[in-house]
Amino acid sequence: MSVRRRDSLGGRAAIAGIGATEFSKDSGRSELKLAVEAVRAALDDAGLTPADVDGMVTFTMDTSPEITVAQAAGIGELSFFSRVHYGGGAACATVQQAAMAVATGVADVVVCYRAFNERSGRRFGSGVQQRDPSAEGVALGANLPSGLLTPASWVAMAAQRYLHAFHLDPSVFGPVAVADRRHAANNPAAYFHGKPITLADHAASRWIVEPLRLLDCCQETDGGQAIVVTSPERARDLRHAPAVIAAAAQGAGRAQEQMTSFYRDDLTGLPEMGVVARQLWRTSGLTPSDIDTAVLYDHFTPFVLMQLEEFGFCGRGEAADFAAGGGLEIDGRLPVNTHGGQLGEAYLHGMNGIAEGVRQLRGSSVNQVAGASNVLITAGTGVPTSGLVLTADG
């Protein structure tokens, strides 16, 4: 089965276009409007028109269906449309779905998109307000009476165990926040443009749910992002050099729940991301030492450290030392989230991170890593998730 061997998707599709709305706290328009703006911007970036599109992929959480966005954006017939579950865990999987459609000839040009008013409308950070009966609801329902009502509270359980197991304190999360905000400070598209922070700022920020402080938690954002996927051959004839999809993977671990996998034998790692990591390395043929820069899903800082360990950039319990002293910044051991991440640029369920990976390969990032040719990108953590390795063409 594919979870134990190299798959054949690598190199058979590429990202040819990226486009986004502005990132704000009050967009003043519908989520459908945001989606259409992002889709049109991505097509324009690629040098394509709506008539070229025959496939669309989004999240199950998205309020704008594929056929509705297609109609509003002037796209005609579709031969492929798909949605991926599990919130932010779906981000890289949308590109995987698109790549599979392109590689098998089911579609020629597929647009992946995500758009929401997550600040001015529904706010995920407000926690569980109401849920229809479901199997997922049963898992959440076992924890809600204890006061575990919000994403921060769910992550805090694993973060606290991580600190205890490796004899660390909450200050080790600070370098992640500082690196993201330093990168965001140079990014005009980032909400926190021009607003870096220090480790002292992190330590002084108020507790949200111990051991998480305010600056350990991502922001809430209104906006949209779209990604255009096509074949490498077609992409070479378009406006930008292709960002080749060297590998794409999804992963769910044993005893997997959505954010509340507290009955596993060990809470100090992210087994679902371990599944993704193994498959990305197998299929791409790359190793951690080959990665020039990474976009690691950062809705909460502790899970960035755990991802460094799952992908083998360092050993178990060693990520705090890896990140310390600027290890995640441009001149560090592994530049991470050079757009500012979801802590600094925008919380868009990871789709803006895919766009940053493409910019790094194009050489157009505001925090460009010199000679970047291999980029790792991950999706939501604590849930069934996904990841990508993008490489420069040729």
Tokens of 219: 């922001």
Is the separation of the CB atoms in 244 and 31 below 8 Å? Answer: no
Per-residue H/E/C for the chain: CHHHCCCCCCCCCEEEEEEECCCECCCCCCHHHHHHHHHHHHHHHHCCCHHHCCEEEEECCCCCCHHHHHHHHCCCCCCEEEEECCHHHHHHHHHHHHHHHHHCCCCCCEEEEEEEECCCCCCHHHCCCCCCCCHHHHHHHCCHHHCCCCHHHHHHHHHHHHHHHCCCCHHHHHHHHHHHHHHHHCCCCCCCCCCCCCHHHHHHCCEEECCEEHHHECCCCEEEEEEEEECHHHHCCCCCCCEEEEEEEEECCCCCCCCCCCCCCCCCCCHHHHHHHHHHHHHHCCCHHHCCEEECCCCEHHHHHHHHHHCCCCCCCCHHHHHCCCCCCCCCCCCECCCCHHHHCCCCCCHHHHHHHHHHHHCCCCCCCCCCCEEEEECCCCCCEEEEEEEECC
191: annotated active-site residue: no
| Catalytic entry in 86, 113, 191, 347 | 347
Q: Is 113 among the catalytic positions?
A: no
Looking at the annotation, which residues are catalytic? 297, 347
